[in-house]
Amino acid sequence: MTRSSRNACRLAPITAFCAMVALDAAIANHFILPCREECVEPQSVVTGSMGSAREFHTATLLADGTVLAAGGRDARFTPLDSAELYDPVVGTWSPTGSMTMSRAMHTATRLSDGRVLVAGGLTNLSSGRTDTAEIYDPATRTWTPTGTMITARFWYDATELQDGRVLVAGGYGGAGAGETLRSAELYDPATGRWVPTADLNTTRWGHTLTRLDDGTVLAVRGSNSEDFENALSGAELFDPHSRTWSNVGETGAGSVMHTATLLADGRVLVAGGNGGGNTGRDTVHALAVMFDPATRIWSRVADLPAERYDHAATTLPGGEILVAGGTFQIGASPELHYGMRTMNVRFEPDSMTWSSAASLRTPRGRPSMTLLLDGTVLIAGGYLLEMRPDEQPPGIQTTVLASAERYLPFARGKSSIPRKSKQMP
């Protein structure tokens, strides 16, 4: 058994088996089998499809090991109010009641008591964005409205603080025609109320928020324009005790649609992203950088094997980072071509190398990614782009996906791509 599989078995909760999914992709409801010495190479296998196609949705792991998928846009690009639960034991989805409002580009945050706070987003209302919030209770499988945010916002980020409150910051919204936001606010689950906190130093949407081990929160990149031509490369840190933001340097490239992933040792890996562009050609990054909270220094690490944005990432039980899916671009307008990344890749923090990590069953951008209690990873929904070269200029077919798959990380891939770590200039 490899080190990854041993770690996966050791770290999984005692209530969950270290498991692998049966490899018959024709069967939608996969059985879970004990992980033994004969565990195969990492791979993705088909699991049950969601009841609705979704992109810009949220997926939240609940305490019982099920996954709550909520909202998003459907195949007609219409915001949804529906939600459903994934049961990893049988590999199926079931409806779990509708939210009080349709939402896409919202946030979902699991609270300390196991409930889920869903807030903001784009809706079917004439105003588009919403300041409403609601709570999902897994015990009753019901949705209940809670306090209204101070500012309506979408395409922002949220994270739970160590004291149980929830921080939201930035995004696009506000009053009138809307604007890129600097504001931040805190939700208190005990009172159900939102209170303002210090503004970001820079307006930004499409950024990421990552809570660090010391309780501070790292905000990375984003854009400060309606489009993302003015993609930001800077980062800032929120101190929940002083309720202040401080700048913590440049990441080497501006982008939205990147990932920021907390490593087991407390560092943060930022990878990929779309840097925009004003000449009809977006700058898509393969750049990967590491933030060290102890020194507050950014360092360049090995680039992704291929540039991508709209991908997803998570930390595996063995400590590696899995990056899945995403989109790339070739050429410039009016002959700008899009492609989908099917090969997942894995970053090893000890060796600072990337390795291949099996291919997706379905190419997808903007999927949700959830690390399950058994050490496998659920990858669901998102979009598929297909070029139509017979059209002039070439057209693009966008399909919103209902399909889902499970990534099995129980053995290392053989293909390794070593790179040297470089200090940021």
| Mean pLDDT, residues 223-241 | 91
Q: Answer yes or no: are the C-beta atoms of 170 and 219 closer than 8 Å.
A: yes
> Residue 216 — very low, low, confident or very high, per pLDDT cuts 50/70/90?
very high
Q: Does domain 3-414 have CATH number 3.20.20.70?
A: no
> Residue 229 — very low, low, confident or very high, per pLDDT cuts 50/70/90?
confident
Kindly state the percentage of the chain with pLDDT values over 90: 75
pLDDT of residue 330: 84
pLDDT of residue 279: 54
Burial (CB count <10 Å: 0-12, 13-18, 19+), residue 10: exposed
Q: Answer yes or no: are the C-beta atoms of 41 and 20 closer than 8 Å.
A: no
pLDDT of residue 1: 31
Q: Answer yes or no: are the C-beta atoms of 363 and 384 closer than 8 Å.
A: yes
pLDDT in tens, 26-80: 233 343 433 444 556 788 999 999 999 999 999 999 999 999 999 999 999 999 9
**How far apart are the C-alpha atoms of 68 and 367, rounded to whole Å?**
14
Residue 348: is its pLDDT beyond 60? yes
pLDDT in tens, 357-373: 999 999 999 999 999 99
pLDDT of residue 4: 33
The contacts found for 297-301 with CB under 8 angstroms, 24 or more apart, are 297/249, 297/424, 298/235, 298/249, 298/250, 298/251, 298/252, 298/424, 299/421, 299/422, 299/423, 299/424, 300/252, 300/421, 300/422, 300/423, 300/424, 301/269, 301/347, 301/352, 301/419, 301/421, 301/422
Kindly state the percentage of the chain with pLDDT values over 70: 84
Domain ranges in the chain? 3-414
Strands 377-380 and 368-371: antiparallel
pLDDT in tens, 89-103: 999 999 999 999 999
**How far apart are the C-alpha atoms of 273 and 142, rounded to whole Å?**
36
281 versus 252: which is more confidently predicted? Answer: 252
Residue 414: is its pLDDT beyond 50? no
**How far apart are the C-alpha atoms of 262 and 266, rounded to whole Å?**
6
| Mean pLDDT, residues 302-309 | 97
Residue 2: is its pLDDT beyond 60? no
pLDDT of residue 110: 98
pLDDT of residue 281: 67
**How far apart are the C-alpha atoms of 206 and 180, rounded to whole Å?**
10
Distance of CA 132 to the CA centre of its chain: 22
pLDDT of residue 62: 98
**How far apart are the C-alpha atoms of 63 and 116, rounded to whole Å?**
11
Which residues are within 8 A (CB) of 338 and not within 5 positions of it... i.e. 6 or more apart? 327, 328, 329, 330, 385, 387, 396
